[in-house]
Structure 1
């Protein structure tokens, strides 16, 4: 048994760091969400930020967009030309994706500043891509409403998860300290 632990130590350390950091970040995020009153259907601050930035980008592209909090659920309705298009809910803020990204980078951590810098840059990139993803989803639904399920359920999740996967590959191959040792 001891031989297996020694042989697979790098993998076990990776798993331990990944699951511990993921669990810690999920708990912190849940504490953040708990400060909003679910009974009053309050929308969390990050979801509001994403909704407002989505609105700003849509209006920059000359769409007559408006945001309306929904009284029956913690979400924000986006309307374009007074027609409801999408609801932005807590799951749309990409925090869970950012947590997954961060846990992976921590599990493959290198030097602190390099790791921290890559995490911050990655989170910012994911956030920007997420806002653009929602904007493009809205534009797609307006122009191709018959493809709403395909756009929302397949195409746009593929874009954001594919981007995170590319960030992971970039980290492991270019920035992480073990990659440099093995070259």
Structure 2
């Protein structure tokens, strides 16, 4: 009877293993920044957001709050938003990677994960830019943008990538 569930259990075990390992590695990384402020990856994203906004004509400055482990975006002279560790989308990327590796298909798994991580990274940077622009020019829509629209963008991208992985890669029968 257990033999019937072996494929499902195998997928579930791979998902949980990859997820827990990546989560522990990420937590170890975050712990190394405990007294130094915002982690370097999040800060790097904030710098890229600033550069894009400056290019788009939204003068942006960053202000570090080391004690608060955050960076404030000052856009067009107002403090629009703040960047915290949760804004870097790494937890979403860990979930994405875990799901794709749960349906492991050899080398193409690694290529798809790398392409997917790049897409998620770009979507996240654009998401933060979009949120800053909404908070600067249309602050009355800030809460709905932050709580619903922009999370839907990043999670929607993850779901779309998962569907592509399953439909075009994971469920394709290999010629033997």
Q: Is the 8 A contact 1:41 1:73 kept in 2?
A: no
Identify the match of residue 49 of structure 1 among 44, 48, 72. Answer: 44
1:146 matched residue in structure 2 = 140
Distance 1:71 1:94 in 2: 20
1:81 matched residue in structure 2 = 76
Task: Indicate yes or no: 2:156 matched with 1:159.
Answer: no
SS at match of 1:180: coil
Superposed displacement of residue 149, structure 1: 1.1
Coordinate RMSD, CA, aligned: 1.4
Identify the match of residue 124 of structure 1 among 100, 108, 118. Answer: 118
Q: If the length of structure 1 is used for normalisation, what is the TM-score? A: 0.92
1:91 matched residue in structure 2 = 86
**Structure 1 consecutive aligned stretches of length 4 or more whose deviation exceeds 4 Å:** none
Identify the match of residue 35 of structure 1 among 21, 29, 32. Answer: 32
Q: If the length of structure 2 is used for normalisation, what is the TM-score? A: 0.95
Q: Which runs of 5+ in 1 are unaligned?
A: none
Q: Deviations over 1:100-125 (max 9, x none)?
A: 000000001101x2101111111111
Identify the match of residue 11 of structure 1 among 8, 12, 15. Answer: 8
Identify the match of residue 58 of structure 2 among 51, 63, 67. Answer: 63
Aligned pair count? 175
